[in-house]
């Protein structure tokens, strides 16, 4: 089994698509570890604020199989994957970490640079994996967050999924 962390984001019908993503991931991978939900300003374009969170779970799927599943969930929620990098999204599912793998696999670089580049990935990841080490930098996510600064605007928001209050770390089983 490999522990993976997935970043989830949406700025179009945000609650609808995040709930759909959580439902689908929970149906495939039980025992999800779910971060609090944050709201953030759009980065790189003028747009509605995003809701972001990170989900962790263990899987036997390969990177290719996992990416294929994530693309299907995005597509089922109106994201056909042909939008510019900085644009509105109904649902964006990003593989942030696949165990301690470092390198390029299936056209993505792992660990994903978003972890150290964007608060919307680092903060929720820290909430559920704060004492784990970044596989390349060999610093904990908590240390990386402390060094990050506050240039990006991000704030926790109330969010409920299946009677779980996602304003605190949750384990869905």
Domain of 9: which CATH number?
A: 3.30.70.560
Tell whether 134 is covered by a domain: yes
Number of structural domains (the chain) is 1
Q: In tens digits, what is the pLDDT along the chain, a chain of 173 residues?
A: 999 999 999 999 999 999 999 999 999 998 999 999 999 988 887 789 999 999 999 999 999 999 999 999 988 877 666 666 776 888 999 999 999 999 999 889 999 999 999 999 999 999 999 999 999 999 999 999 999 988 788 999 999 999 888 876 666 55
What pLDDT is attached to residue 171?
63
What pLDDT is attached to residue 83?
67
pLDDT digits (tens, 9 = 90+) for 26-67: 999 989 999 999 999 888 877 899 999 999 999 999 999 999
Q: How far apart are CA 42 and CA 51, in angstroms?
A: 10
Domain residues for the domain of 134 are: 2-163
Tell whether 173 is covered by a domain: no
| Cα 128 to Cα 27, 36, 41, 116, distances in angstroms | 20, 9, 22, 16
Tell whether 171 is covered by a domain: no
Beta strands in the chain, from DSSP E residues, in sequence order: 2-10, 32-34, 38-40, 50-59, 92-98, 103-105, 108-110, 154-156, 160-161, 164-165, 170-172
CB-CB contact of 33 with 75 (8 Å) = no
What pLDDT is attached to residue 117?
95
What pLDDT is attached to residue 151?
78
What pLDDT is attached to residue 82?
63
CB within 8 A of 91, min separation 6: which ones? Answer: 8, 9, 10, 17, 18, 20, 21, 73, 74, 77, 78, 79
Tell whether 93 is covered by a domain: yes
What pLDDT is attached to residue 166?
84
Tell whether 156 is covered by a domain: yes
This prediction's pTM: 0.93
Tokens standing for residue 106: 């299936």
Tell whether 168 is covered by a domain: no
């Amino acid at each position: 089994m490999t522990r993976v962390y997935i970043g989830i984001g949406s700025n179009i019908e945000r609650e609808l698509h995040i709930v759909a993503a959580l439902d689908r991931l929970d149906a495939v991978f039980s025992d999800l570890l779910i971060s609090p939900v944050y709201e953030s300003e759009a980065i790189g374009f003028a747009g509605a604020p995003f809701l972001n969170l990170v989900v962790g779970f263990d899987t036997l799927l390969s990177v290719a199989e996992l990416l294929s599943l994530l693309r299907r969930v995005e597509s089922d929620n109106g994201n056909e994957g042909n939008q510019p990098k900085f644009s509105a999204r109904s649902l964006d599912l990003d593989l942030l970490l696949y165990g301690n793998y470092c390198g390029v696999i299936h056209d993505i670089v792992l660990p994903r640079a978003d972890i150290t580049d964007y608060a919307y990935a680092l903060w929720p990841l820290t909430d559920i994996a704060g004492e784990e080490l970044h596989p390349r930098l060999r610093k904990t996510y908590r240390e990386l967050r402390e060094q990050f600064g506050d240039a990006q605007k991000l704030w926790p928001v109330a969010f409920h999924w299946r009677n779980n209050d996602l304003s605190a770390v949750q384990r869905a089983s």
